[in-house]
Amino acid sequence: MICGFNVEPEVAFRDDQKPKEKSMNTKLKVAIMAVALGLAVQANASMYDIAYTQVGATSAYGSPVPGTTTDATGTLTVIGNTVISGTLTVTGTGPDNGTYTLISSTGSDSLIQYDNVWPITTTGGLAWSLTGAANTASTEMNMWSTDGGEYGQPSGYYALWGGASGQSSTFNVESYGNLTVTAVPEPTTIVSGVLMLLPFGASTLRILRRRVA
């Protein structure tokens, strides 16, 4: 009888823990699947850091403040040959400093036109506004390649112009300069890192099981 009492509580205790172990195992699998799904969605997108440095400026289509400079840094998310999102932080001594949000569409308004094609084209380029929307009263920034020599800009640079939407051909900034593009590590690199961590997750699960038992 003594042996029976020693065995039965132990068996009962282990049976009681099995649902908890199963629940823990299921939660871990769900978490791993959620992370993998999120990374799989991102795997089709590429991310870039951009840095714009002004070389010169014109004043053919507006009233830029003489002697000012406009520089900018930002991030872009690209799928295929389309920029789908991004931000641009404008700095320098010009009048349009601030952080702008990409207008994630194609089109034009009274001030600019844009096509969000990647790499940046000579026909439209990228557009940002303070609100992230077009045709508003907020200031907009437009960047395009000057290889076509459009609007009097010297070829071989990138133009960055700014002004208030709704004020046709009235730009506060008409700069041109150099653009540096740096690719951010691809999500596949992150996936590889997650896969490397999976054995540690499995070992952690085994340790928790032993502690519960």
For residue range 9-39, what is the model confidence (pLDDT) as tens digits? 444 445 555 555 555 566 665 556 555 555 5
Higher pLDDT, 152 or 182: 182
The residues spanned by each domain of the chain are 1-43, 45-183
State yes or no: pLDDT of 201 exceeds 70: no
Q: Where do we find the tokens 């900034």?
A: 173
Tell me the pLDDT of the chain averaged across its residues: 78
What is the pLDDT averaged over residues 74-88?
A: 97
Left, alpha or beta for 199 (phi > 0: left; psi -120 to 50: alpha)?
alpha
**Cβ neighbourhood burial of 57 (10 Å; 0-12, 13-18, 19+):** buried
Q: What is the mean pLDDT of residues 69-88?
A: 97
Other Cβ atoms within 10 Å of 36 Cβ, number? 13
Structure tokens at 132: 């992230």
pLDDT at 78 (0 to 100): 97
Mean pLDDT of 192-211: 54
Q: Report the distance separating Cα 170 and Cα 59, nearest Å.
A: 10
Q: For residues 94 and 53, what is the distance between their CA atoms, to the nearest angstrom?
A: 13
User: Which two tokens mark 190?
Assistant: 């992150």
Return the higher-pLDDT residue of 130 and 64.
130
Given the structure tokens 């026909």, which residue do they identify?
123
In percent, how much of the chain has pLDDT > 90?
Answer: 42
Tokens of 127: 């557009």
Q: Is the pLDDT of residue 190 over 70?
A: no
Q: Indicate whether 79 pLDDT > 80.
A: yes
Cβ-based neighbour number of residue 84 at 10 Å: 15
The encoded tokens of residue 134 equal 């077009």
Q: Which residues contact 94 (CB under 8 A, 6 or more apart)?
A: 64, 65, 68, 69, 70, 162, 172, 173, 175
Task: With beta carbons less than 8 A apart as the criterion, state whether 100 and 90 touch.
Answer: yes
Provide the sign of the torsion angle of the four alpha carbons 176, 180, 181, 185, taken in this order.
negative
Amino acid code (one letter) for 111: L
Confidence band for 156, pLDDT divided at 50, 70 and 90: very high
Residue 4: predicted pLDDT: 47
Distance CA 140, CA 119 (A): 20
Taken in order 31, 32, 37, 42, is the CA torsion positive or negative? positive
Alpha-carbon distance of 119 to 100, in angstroms, equals: 20
